[in-house]
Amino acid sequence: MEIGFIGLGHMGFPMVANLLANGYAVRVYDTSDAAVAKAVEQGAMAAQSLIDLTQSADAIITMLPTPAVVRSVLCVPGGVIANAKQNALIIDCSTSDPQTAVEVEALGAVAGKIVLDAPVSGGVLGAKAGTLTFMVGGSKDGFLLAKSILSAMGKNIVHCGAAGSGQAAKLCNNLLLGVSTVAVSESMCLGASLGLEPEVLAQIINTSSGRCWVSELYNPYPGVVKDAPASNNFAGGFACDLMIKDLSLALDAAHGTRQPLPMTSVSKQLFQLLSHQGHGDKDISAIVEMFKK
């Protein structure tokens, strides 16, 4: 079985490496020749063109930066959906928006291809370790076909529901991550300003009703969690500008369903202020610097 993989960025490259390590034949495509060459070094085959990859592969995985790029690769006349083999499995792992996923999958169905949305969580570290979570939207049958492939790259493969559900679940989770990061920053900085030791405060929160993933594993107050970005000058991790992208996708999706999201909206604006001050490439926990004395 040959897998076509489109998009060899920070996430795509280690995902390909794990597919290869699990014995899959992988043909790759990227607009960067250097990225392709690096994947070939790991054992991948280089596609001559997008259409070459598309016509050759049994399953195609895309890992692309924005919904617009996803549409331009999958949905145009010379694109993946039009040219893939009949009944090919097309798995879009990009973080996109539910509406795009719904439309892409409808187009796939018309063309006789099985399309799934399968955005990931776990970041670059999870991609390297093969421990990503995949949130999968699309038909149950498609999900069952995709599961073994995705298992080569992740350890938690969840079927969220119909087309678009994977994207919806990812956005719903990530807005919580965004809000929590700001809220834990506020809480820790208020505590510090009132004389509490940050370690003591974190310990109390983590055994109380304020406890969350951010307070426990990703505490934005420097020094509280040793290997968190906040203890490493806010390097690595999840860039502020990427969080702005995800919060914007959530707000756009909410606009579509006329859903109010006040806290999400304020958290986006605060990350935008941080980015505006020149810190868009720092980890999201750098928001703590807006509150810390």
Instruction: Tell me the residue type at 88.
Output: A
Q: Which H/E stretch holds residue 213?
A: helix 213-217
Tokens of 124: 């670059």
> Among 128, 140, 147, 170, which one carries the catalytic annotation?
170
Q: Does 57 sit near a copy of itself (CB under 8 A)?
A: no
Could you say whether residue 127 binds a copy of itself (CB under 8 A)? no
Q: Which two tokens stand for residue 12?
A: 């795509």
Q: Which is nearer to a copy of itself, 52 or 186 (CB)?
A: 186
Residues 13-32 that bind a copy of itself (CB under 8 A): none
Using an 8 Å Cβ cutoff, are 105 and 81 in contact?
no
Q: Give, in order, the Cα–Cα distances in Å from 126 to each of 132, 136, 216, 232.
A: 5, 17, 18, 19
Look at residues 78, 74, 44 and name the one whose alpha carbon lies nearest to residue 62.
74
Q: Does 157 bind a copy of itself (CB under 8 A)?
A: no
Residue in the structure block whose two tokens are 């958290």: 267
The answer to whether residue 125 forms part of the interface with a copy of itself (CB under 8 A) is: no
Among 77, 226, 227, 262, binds a copy of itself (CB under 8 A): 262
Return the residue matching tokens 């991609």.
127
113 is catalytic: no
Q: Are 233 and 213 in contact (CB under 8 A)?
A: no
Q: Which is nearer to a copy of itself, 10 or 276 (CB)?
A: 276
16 vs 156: CA distance, rounded Å: 18
Of 38 and 292, nearer to a copy of itself (C-beta) is 292
List the interface residues with a copy of itself, window 169-198 (CB under 8 A).
169, 171-177, 179-180, 182-184, 186-191, 193-197
Provide, rounded to whole angstroms, the least separation between the CB of residue 163 and a copy of itself: 9
95 binds a copy of itself (CB under 8 A): no
Nearer to a copy of itself, 148 or 269 (CB): 269
**Which are the catalytic amino acids?**
170
